[in-house]
Amino acid sequence: MDIRPIRTEEDYQAALAEIEGLFDAAPGTPEGDHLDVLTTLVEAYEAQHYSIPAPDPIEAIKYYMESRGLSRNDLEPYLGSRARVAEVLNRKRPLSLSMIRRLHTGLGIAADVLVQPYALERSAHVRRGAVTGEERTAVEGR
């Protein structure tokens, strides 16, 4: 078994081709062990070179709703009134810490996704400067 670190894109492509050839290898065999080691090396290379950024919090909520057949009304226990749900989903109001906690606890949406900064639609109350520190942070992306 000739195993080397994956350092370049050429090494990566060669490892992928080798994995494809070993894909049907039985576990516990030398070929299966080779496949396990190569897969681990490829995963490490991909984590370093092809990191996937966390999704936008509002898009994550919308995806969660769509994938589970939830309506905007189903979000009211987590976000507040119907108007508040609309404001959040239309990016007119940022998620508060309590909303994030309720979405995480009640629906299982990953908190690390929900706390990511995201853009809000700049509305009249933002332009006038009548925003809370929390809203300002979300608007400015900090």
What is the per-residue pLDDT across 63-111, written as a single tens digit (0 to 9) for each? 999 999 999 999 999 999 999 999 999 999 999 999 999 999 999 999 9
> 57-140, superfamily in CATH?
lambda repressor-like DNA-binding domains (1.10.260.40)
DSSP state of 48: H
pLDDT in tens, 49-67: 988 888 999 999 999 999 9
Give which of 52, 135, 44 is closest to 93, Cα–Cα: 135
* Residue ranges covered by each domain of the chain: 9-49, 57-140
Number of helices and strands (H, E) in the chain?
9, 0
